[in-house]
Amino acid sequence: MKYAIFVVLALLLAAIAVANPFILEPAGFLAFVKRAAPLVILAAGQYFVIVSGEFDLSVGSLVTVEVVVAARLIDGNEAATWPVLALLIALGLLVGLVNGVVTALLRVPSFITTLGMMLILSGAVFLWTGGAPRGALSQSFRVFGRDTLWAVLITLAVGAAAVLLTRATYGRTLIATGDNERAAALSGVRVARARILAFVISGLAAAIAGIMLGGFAGVSAQVGQGLEFSAITAVVLGGVALGGGRGSVVAAMGGALTLEAMFTLLNLYGISGALEYTVQGVIIVAAVAAGAVQLPRLFITPRKGDAHAS
């Protein structure tokens, strides 16, 4: 049940293979993974935030910021690649830190915090570049998103790190926090710190996804548009509950792959661009409804009064 999303993914891949057997070949499959890589990485980051009971709406604009900043600073200069990469990572971490501190310590709902961050980021970056992205990426920068081997390796590394993190002490306490904040706090968990770190992870994931998308899709002001919703959708498709405490990061990344497979399939069958959104919307709501309808019955909590039988 936990990994039901992979059954869906397999079915979608099979359906793709019927029309286009290339995807069954290693090269074809890897190309598919490369295309999905940024979303998979964003979903992995978003997973940590959602499982702790919060949202991160700022990742889309953070991706745009990363790409635009990279292009302006590198401006075709190969030598600048590595310092800029370090700076981009630092930027992602910083944005996550601010999101986390405002949400966990100042207690602003994360929806608002990250919405504000979204406005601030997109405003600030274009303020800095004067309205339109300028400059160019270097070849050695573009390789991460464009070269299949690099893209797949990075995705695998991020995936492995995410899995290890969810199994580590931090991940377990974070999930427990999302499930029952009070019980976690009364067990000595530093709840605020755990949440802040979740936002930092999400920021880091957005930085990595931005670096890859810059290589893959090139520099534009729209590169990150809507990615926050795609990432949240992917995570939810993977069976991770909004509100926290439930779901696995592997399934969240599976949700991202499934979303990408769905796009591919819809393209293949000529429902290009346009109606694919419609189909996507219906599937997402249906998937969540299917999950929700059975949940409340399993999850029986006693009425308030019962705990105080006198």
Question: Which residues from 210-249 bind other proteins, rule CB under 8 A?
Answer: 229, 232-233, 236, 242-243, 245-246
Rounded Cα gap, residues 28 and 141, in angstroms: 24
In whole angstroms, how close is the CB of 90 to other proteins at the nearest point? 20
Among 13, 43, 70, 284, binds other proteins (CB under 8 A): 284
The answer to whether 136 touches 71, Cβ cutoff 8 Å, is yes
Among 46, 173, 202, 264, binds other proteins (CB under 8 A): 173
> In 26-80, which ranges are continuous DSSP H helix?
26-51, 59-74
Rounded Cα gap, residues 136 and 178, in angstroms: 41
In whole angstroms, how close is the CB of 173 to other proteins at the nearest point? 5
Range in contact with other proteins (rule: CB under 8 A) among 12-20, 41-49, 255-263, 275-283:
275-283
Token couple for 230:
């795609």
Q: Which is nearer to other proteins, 144 or 263 (CB)?
A: 263
Rounded Cα gap, residues 271 and 293, in angstroms: 30
Rounded Cα gap, residues 13 and 17, in angstroms: 6
Q: Which is nearer to other proteins, 113 or 155 (CB)?
A: 113
CB-based contacts of 201, cutoff 8 Å, min separation 6:
45, 48, 49, 96, 165
The answer to whether 49 touches 202, Cβ cutoff 8 Å, is yes
In whole angstroms, how close is the CB of 149 to other proteins at the nearest point? 33
Angle at alpha carbon of residue 207, lines to 205 and 209, rounded to 5°: 70
Tell me how crowded residue 113 is: count the other CB atoms within 10 A of its CB: 25
- Answer yes or no whether residue 188 interacts with other proteins by CB under 8 A: yes
Q: Which of residues 189-208 bind other proteins (CB under 8 A)?
A: 189-190
CB-based contacts of 190, cutoff 8 Å, min separation 6:
none
Q: Which is nearer to other proteins, 163 or 190 (CB)?
A: 190
- Answer yes or no whether residue 106 interacts with other proteins by CB under 8 A: yes
Q: Which is nearer to other proteins, 118 or 162 (CB)?
A: 118
DSSP conformational letter for 138: -
In whole angstroms, how close is the CB of 123 to other proteins at the nearest point? 3
- Answer yes or no whether residue 277 interacts with other proteins by CB under 8 A: yes
Q: Which of residues 117-156 bind other proteins (CB under 8 A)?
A: 117-127, 131
- Answer yes or no whether residue 307 interacts with other proteins by CB under 8 A: yes
Q: Which of 286, 235, 181, 263 is nearest to 56 (CA)?
A: 235
Q: Which of residues 27-86 bind other proteins (CB under 8 A)?
A: 55, 57
- Answer yes or no whether residue 302 interacts with other proteins by CB under 8 A: yes
Place of tokens 């998979």: 40
In whole angstroms, how close is the CB of 207 to other proteins at the nearest point? 19
Place of tokens 């899995």: 163
- Answer yes or no whether residue 293 interacts with other proteins by CB under 8 A: yes
Range in contact with other proteins (rule: CB under 8 A) among 17-25, 78-86, 104-112, 250-258:
104-112
Q: Which is nearer to other proteins, 26 or 293 (CB)?
A: 293
